[in-house]
Amino acid sequence: MHDCEAPARLTDGFRRFRRRYYEDESSLFHDLVHNGQSPRVMMIACSDSRVTPSLVFDTGPGELFVVRNVANLVPPAEFDDHRHGTSAALEFAVERLKVAHIIVQGHSRCGGIQSLLEGIGGQYTRPWLTIAARARAEVLAQHPQADPKDQAHALGQASILVSLENLLSFDNVRRAVVRGELTLHGWYFDLEAGRMLRYEGTSQRFENLA
Ligand SMILES: [Zn+2]
C-alpha cells in the first residue's frame, strides 16, 4: 500500500524545525549561513534509523559533521578513480574543516554487521562489508561456539577497530594524528542496554562511557 503519511509527517517536522531555528534561534542559523560551519567532530555512523547522531548525542546544527553508511565502515585509502563517498567526506572533514576528533560510531543490532556475520548481502552491500572481513574471521576464530547475538556484539566492536586502523591509511589523517591535531575514537551504542561504550587503548576494551 502506498504510504502517504510519511512525507506529510516530514512536512510538519520541517515546519517545527523552521519555527525552532529560524524564529526562536534565528541568530544561530544566521551565523552558520554567513560564517560557515566549523564542527570540531566528524562522526562516521551507521545509516540505521535508530542511531541518528544528532538525536543520540543531543547536538544542534553545526556541531557534528556526519557521514553515515551501512555498518559505519571506513574503507582503506584506495588510489583509483572509483567513487569513494566515505573517503571524500573524510577528506573534506580533515583538509577543509580541520576537525579535531573523528568518532567511528557503531551500534548493536546492526543489520549490516548481521549480514557480514552471516555472509549475505546484495550487489553493493556484500563487497562493501568485506571491509571488515578480517574482523569477522577473528571473531569467528575467537568465539566459534558463542551465541550469534554475542558474536554480533563482538563483530560490531571488532569492525570499529578495523575502521580506526583504516583511517590511519589516509596520509592526511595520519599526519594530523602525528601532529597531535586530530584524535580518533571508537564508540559503540548498545541499543538494548541504552549504554554508550568507548574503546580504551590502555585496556584494549570497550568500556562504559560515563
Ligand atoms: Zn548499523
Q: Does residue 37 contact residue 49 with C-beta atoms inside 8 Å? A: no
Interval between CA 143 and ligand 1 midpoint (Å): 21
Collapsing DSSP to helix, strand or coil, 144 comes out as coil
Interval between CA 132 and ligand 1 midpoint (Å): 13
Provide the pLDDT for residue 1.
52
Average per-residue pLDDT for the chain: 95
Beta strands 41-46 and 101-107: pairing type?
Answer: parallel
Helical pair 148-167 and 133-142, crossing angle rounded to 10 deg: 140
| pLDDT < 70 positions in the chain | 1-2, 210
In angstroms, rounded to a whole number, what is the distance separating the alpha carbons of residues 75 and 84? 9
In angstroms, rounded to a whole number, what is the distance separating the alpha carbons of residues 140 and 155? 9
The CA R_g of the chain, rounded to the nearest whole Å, is 19
Interval between CA 3 and ligand 1 midpoint (Å): 24
In angstroms, rounded to a whole number, what is the distance separating the alpha carbons of residues 110 and 87? 22
In angstroms, rounded to a whole number, what is the distance separating the alpha carbons of residues 25 and 68? 27
Domains and CATH numbers, the chain: 1-36 (no CATH), 37-208 (3.40.1050.10)
Residue reference for cell 558474536: 151
Q: Is 61 exposed, middle or buried (0-12, 13-18, 19+ CB in 10 A)?
A: middle
Interval between CA 93 and ligand 1 midpoint (Å): 22
Provide the pLDDT for residue 173.
98
Interval between CA 112 and ligand 1 midpoint (Å): 6
Interval between CA 108 and ligand 1 midpoint (Å): 7
Residue reference for cell 562493501: 128
Q: What is the pTM of this model?
A: 0.95
Interval between CA 167 and ligand 1 midpoint (Å): 19
In angstroms, rounded to a whole number, what is the distance separating the alpha carbons of residues 48 and 205? 24
